[in-house]
Amino acid sequence: MKKILALVCALVMACGLFVTANAEGDLLKIGYVQVGHESDWRMANTQNYFDVFTKEAGFDLELIDCDNDHALQLSKVREFVQKDFDYIVIDPIQTAGWDDVLKEVQDAGIPCIIADRSVDASPDLYTTAVGTDMTAEGETAGKWLEEYLAGKEAKILVIEGSTGSSAAIGRAEGFNKVAANHPEWEILASQDGDFTQNGGQAVMEDFIKRFPEFDVVVCHNDNEAYGAMDAMDAAGIKYGVGEKIIISFDATNEGLKRTLDGQILCDVECNPIQAVIVMNVIKALQAGETVEKFTLVPDEGFCAPGIESAIVTTMTDEVLAGRKY
């Protein structure tokens, strides 16, 4: 986390916090279509944009919570085009179905930034993208489990993120890539928990009925993991070191508290603090500079105390104290 904060600070120091306004001297109008408010991670990401894209910094931010409604997200982007916003930032609910609206943004001459997640569309249709490597996150979780099990057999249950989202697709792809090298692992079932605590609980309750014997639960985000824990608690199933293994993603503050407590054995970060990087991309574009087609937001993984790992960082009180989200 210290490395990430250092990188963000370096970006701010190098590029400055304030940007030049548009040609008329007004605030830059930024339209951001957010996925929703389904998780602690998403709320932290939204707050980060409000903290960075302020009027004092030269921005007029309109952030729309699309509540996981893909059609609504498309319509809001079109509204931003009609209002002639200076920049449009899209955090896509799902990867598919973006070609037409991205072409409309492009035809309007508005720079478009894909943030956090990705789209299944030609990179020629948008200006640039900023986000984490979801597939690499899945690989990190798989490699940690590989290290931890050390050749032991495992029956695995997976609570997926929202169907069609790049986060769910990437994490599954990365984890399955590692799992394919382990015939001693058996993935019993994989089901959508919609990135919510209630969804995670419902899926886990169903899994417990269908698969009384299992060893590992992989949850595509922390909120799903909390729901899985609720279901396991109600069923009297123990988890933690020496018990059922829970793997999660996001590494929110609460998720890492549960990692520090030994409930979640491995939590792979997806860093929500992305707004400063997006802001600096906009600053570069305002200055007429060429930007990279993709800017990686760095992240890392964490495991419970008492577990030695060459793959992820072992949780401590000091690590948790350094987390702001």
Q: DSSP states of 226-249 as a string?
A: HHHHHHHHHTT--BSTTSBEEEEE
7 and 120 share one domain: yes
Which CATH number characterizes residue 232's domain?
3.40.50.2300
Count, in order, helices (H) and strands (E) of the chain. Answer: 11, 13
233 is a domain residue:
yes
50 and 11 share one domain: yes
253 and 280 share one domain: no
pLDDT value at position 271?
A: 92
Its domain, for residue 188, covers: 134-270+302-321
257 and 123 share one domain: no
- Contacts with 150 (C-beta within 8 Å, 6 or more apart), sequence order: none
184 is a domain residue:
yes
30 is a domain residue:
yes
101 is a domain residue:
yes
pLDDT value at position 15?
A: 34
192 and 63 share one domain: no
pLDDT value at position 322?
A: 86
Q: Residue 184 gets which letter from DSSP? A: T
pLDDT value at position 25?
A: 61
Q: Residue 57 gets which letter from DSSP? A: T
33 and 109 share one domain: yes
pLDDT value at position 5?
A: 37
76 is a domain residue:
yes
How many domains does one find in the chain?
2
pLDDT value at position 60?
A: 98
282 and 159 share one domain: no
279 and 262 share one domain: no
190 and 311 share one domain: yes
CA distance to 14, 171, 253, 286, per residue, from 324 (Å): 22, 24, 7, 30
171 and 237 share one domain: yes
The two structure tokens encoding residue 196: 């919510």
* Strand duo 266-269 + 294-296: pairing: unpaired
CA distance to 61, 72, 90, 125, 190, per residue, from 104 (Å): 21, 16, 14, 9, 37
pLDDT value at position 153?
A: 98
pTM of the entire structure? 0.88
Q: What spatial distance separates the first Cα and last Cα of the chain, rounded to whole Å?
A: 11
297 is a domain residue:
no
62 is a domain residue:
yes
316 and 194 share one domain: yes
309 is a domain residue:
yes
266 beta partners: 247, 303
144 and 45 share one domain: no
Regions of the chain with pLDDT less than 70: 1-25
